[in-house]
Amino acid sequence: MTALLLFVSFAVFLFLSVPIGIAIGLATLVTIMVSGSLPLEFLAQGLVTSVDSFPLMAVPFFILAGEIMGKGGISDRLFRVANSIVGNKTGGFAIATILTCMFFAAISGSGPATVAAIGGIMIPAMVRQGYDKKFATALVAAAGSLGVIIPPSIPMVIYGVSGSVSIGNLFIAGIIPGIIIGIALMIYSYYYSKKQGYHGSGEKTSIKKIGAATWDAKWALLVPIIILGGIYGGIFTPTEAAVIAVVYGLLAGLLLYRELKIKDLPKVFADSALTTATILIIVGAATAFGRLLTVEQIPNTVANAMLSISENPIVIILLITVFLLIVGCFMDTLAAIIILTPILLPIAVNLGYDPVHFGILMIVNLAIGFITPPLGVNLFVASGISGLSLEQLARAVVPFFLVMVFTLLFIIFVPQLSLFLVDLIG
C-alpha cells in the first residue's frame, strides 16, 4: 500500500508539471506523512547525507569545466579538427558534427551541455551547407547523448556512488561503447546523406591541413588525455580530475585561446551553480525516495516479480532494457539511476552480470531517453537552438533512436565491449 501511494503521488506531481526533483521529494513527504511508518526527519536526513559525498563533488566541477570550455572557443576548434578529417566526404559535415560531439563528450560529461555547445555552431552551419534542418537538429540531439556515455560522465559518477562501483572503471568502460555508438550514427548519417545528395566540402584532405587544425586545437584535445590519463595513471581521483579540468579550462580559455573573458566568468559560474543546484536537489530527493523503497522492501518485490516471469538471464536483461527505455521517456536520468540502481543492480549481479557492465547498459539505456519525448532533454535544447517544434523533431529523431537501440543490444550481448579495457588496465 505504501509503495502504491509513493508511485501514485509521484505520478500525480509529474502530471501537474512539478519539477522532477521537487516531485520526488513531495511524493516521499506525502507517503511518510500518510503512512506514518517513518519520522519526517527521514526526508531531511536523506537530503543532507546523500550529497555529503567526496565522489559526488566531481559533479559540480565537471559541470563548471564543461561551461568554461564551451565558452572558451574549444568546441569550434574541435569541429575544425573533425572537419579537416572527414569534411570532404559524402555527408562530411554530418559526420564531422558527430565526431565533434564525441570530442566534446570527453570534456563535458553532460548530454544537454554537448548539444548546447555543438548545436549552436553546427546546426546553422549544416543548414547553410544544404542539409535539411530537421535532420541536422535531430543529428545533434542524438549525438549529444554521447556526452554521458563517453567519459567523463556525470551519470557514471552518480551510478558509481549509488551502486558502490568504481567510478574509474566505469569511465574506462564507457570508451568503447561510446565510440561504437558514434560510429553507428556516422554510418547512418553517411547513408542518409548519400541518399539525399549531401556532398562534402570538395576540398582535398591532407596531412598538412589535419596537422594545422590539430595543432590549433591541441589545448582542447589535451583535456581528455589529462583527465583520463591522470585517473588511470593513479595520479588523482575522478573528483580531483574534475577540479583539474576546471583549472585547465580557465587557463586555456583565458590565457591560451583568449576567447574567455574575465567579464564572462560571473555568468559561467552562475549557470554552473544553477545546474548544480538542480542536480543536487534531484540527487537528495531521489536518494530519500530510494531509501524509502528499500525500507518497504520494494527491490525484493520487483526482483521476485521479474524472476517469476523467467529465470533466463537474456529474458530478464531484455525486460530491464525495455523498462529503462520507458523510464527514460518520463524520468530524469540522474533520478532514475539513484532510484533504480538499488533495485536493478542486485538482480543483474545475481544473473551473472558485472556491475561495471550493467552500469554501462543502464547509462546507455537512459542516454537514449535524452531523445525520447515527453522528457527528451536534448530535444528541448536542440529545438531551442533550431526553432523547430518538439513534434517535428520527435519524428526526425526516430531513425537515430533505432540506430542507438540496435547498438545498445550489441553492447548488451557482447560484454567485452565494456570490460575489455577495464580488464586490460585492471
CB 282 within 8 A of CB 335: yes
Q: What is the DSSP letter of 9?
A: H
Given a cut of 90, whether residue 418 has pLDDT beyond it is yes
Residue 401 has pLDDT above 90, yes or no: yes
Q: How far is CA 391 from CA 313, 366, 372, 380, in A?
A: 37, 21, 11, 11
How far apart CA 98 and CA 309 sit, in angstroms, is: 40
Q: What integer pLDDT is reported at residue 88 of this predicted model?
A: 75
Q: Give percent above pLDDT 70 in the chain.
A: 99
- pTM, whole model, 2 decimals? 0.84
Cell numbers 535531430 correspond to what residue?
138
> What is the residue extent of each domain of the chain?
2-425
Q: How do residues 170-184 score in pLDDT, each as one tens digit?
A: 999 999 999 999 999
Please give the torsion angle defined by the CA atoms of residues 155, 54, 249 and 218, in that order, rounded to the nearest 10 degrees: -70
> What's the pLDDT band for 426 if we cut at 50, 70, 90?
low
The grid cell for 275 is 545546474
Cα–Cα nearest to 348, from 336, 363, 358: 358
**Whole-number Å distance between alpha carbons of 262 and 145:** 31
Of the given ranges (56-60, 193-197, 201-205), which has the lowest mean pLDDT?
201-205
Give residue-wise pLDDT tens across range 255-286: 888 888 899 999 999 988 888 888 888 888 88
| Per-residue pLDDT band at 416 (split at 50, 70, 90) | very high
Is the bond leading into 374 cis (omega within 30 degrees of zero)? yes
Phi, psi dihedrals of residue 53, rounded to the nearest 5°: -145, 130
What is the rounded distance in angstroms from the CA atom of residue 13 to the CA atom of residue 1? Answer: 18
Q: Higher confidence at residue 43 or residue 422?
A: 422
